[in-house]
Amino acid sequence: MISEKLVKTIEDNFRASFSRVFPHKLNFEAAARDLVNEKRVIEELERVSRSTTMDLQGKKMLEIGSGFGMLVAVARKRFGAEAFGVEPSEQFRGSYPISLSVLKEMGIEDNPIRIGCGEDIPHEDGLFDIVYSSNVIEHVKDPAKVFAESVRVAKCGGYIIHNIPNYGSWWEGHYGIFMPPYSPAWLLKLIVMCMGRDPSFVDTLQLVTYNKIREWLSPCLDSVEVSTGDRVCGLNV
């Protein structure tokens, strides 16, 4: 159970990072509580288990973009996974320091989260049974490099799952708005600016589409089996 004090810290961090991006009526307190909702994280990990057909007990798992560390903590505490995370120290006004408090309150004594980025994962080759990220690829500087690094650190026969928003759809999830599919960045910036929202956040996004994913993955296709779906794009290494 995460303390009310820590929930408030996450709420303040979330508000400072996204108040001019997310919908004006967003309840930041509710969003913070959802981020540390253990039941939600358990359901997320159960989907990972089903997608990989793996029992997570004893498996080595890496979350790229581990944020506030809740998934890593729950994977260790509730599933018995040997879970690790990697998170930039400066991302979103410093979620990494908060993750240390989350781990402590969840009873995780050591620190399984390392400072780093998906383009240069601070782990050795072939270490992980599962490499996972959720809503991270659209925020990285070099998606192709992240995919290559994911393959590098995954075991032979392991799984890589990246949950990625599709900009070939009618929905932009960060701003919470409808948009024409395959909108270029300039059009999305114009739309959000007219709505009184911060257009500069668009410059931090990769507007991911299926064809872009295939392009980024192309150097890896001789060593991975790719599957896609409405919810996930997974790699069987």
- For the stretch 224-235, pLDDT in tens is 888 876 554 444
* CA nearest to 36, candidates 13, 53, 62: 13
What is the model's pLDDT at position 91? 57
The CATH classification of domain 4-236, taken from the options 3.40.50.150, 3.40.50.280, 3.40.309.10, 1.10.1200.10: 3.40.50.150
So what's the pLDDT on residue 153? 98
- pLDDT (0 to 100) of residue 232: 40
Residue 93 is predicted with a pLDDT of 62
Q: Which residues of the chain have pLDDT under 50?
A: 232-237
Q: Which residue has the tokens 């402590």?
A: 104
Q: Structure pTM?
A: 0.91
pLDDT of res. 92: 54
The HSE-up count of residue 86 (CA atoms within 13 Å, CB side) is 20
